[in-house]
Amino acid sequence: MAQLSQNELEQIQSYLAQQGVTFNATSTDASKRETIYAAVNQLTRNPAQVFGYALDDFNFSRVAYHLGYNIATVPAGDYARLLEACNSIPSEFYYDKIVQQVERCEEAERLIAWFKEQGITKIGGKPLEEFIDGARKGDTGIN
């Protein structure tokens, strides 16, 4: 790998700090440089493994479904960004949160189907469609 200038090293160190990489106050310039070169090397060799977490095919399909990402109707760039995001999840915490949100969408879909089967047209005084729109925005409408 080519040598980086001091300015480039500082920019990369700043970027890594924003991404959560910390350097001890006692870190020498040499150890910082080693860390930066290791990070750059990892980024350039295998970007998908930098974060280490990716949705499996089943959960990716559920995410795409709930976002309305039918591959035939979504621009390729948008689909590629979704695919990239689902293959570069920063931690287990984020992975778990994504799966929880998908489960929430699945449960909401089941409940809405049940309400419609039962002929329920209002929830909490609101028309069912208004409740569904609010739920999509994260507002359950139940106080």
Instruction: Per-residue pLDDT tens, the chain, 143 aa: give them.
Output: 456 677 777 777 777 777 667 766 666 667 766 776 666 665 555 544 455 788 999 999 999 888 888 767 778 788 888 888 898 888 889 999 999 999 988 888 888 888 888 888 887 777 877 766 666 665 555 54
pLDDT value for 128: 76
Token pair recorded at residue 12: 């990369």
Beta-ladder partners of 127: 122
pLDDT of residue 59: 92
Q: Tell me which residue of 109, 45, 44, 54 sits closest to 83, measured CA to CA.
A: 54
Q: How far from the centroid of its chain's Cα atoms is residue 41's Cα? A: 24
| Contact assessment for residue 30 and residue 53, using Cβ atoms and an 8 Å cutoff | no
Strand partners, 123: 126
**H/E run at residue 127:** strand 126-127
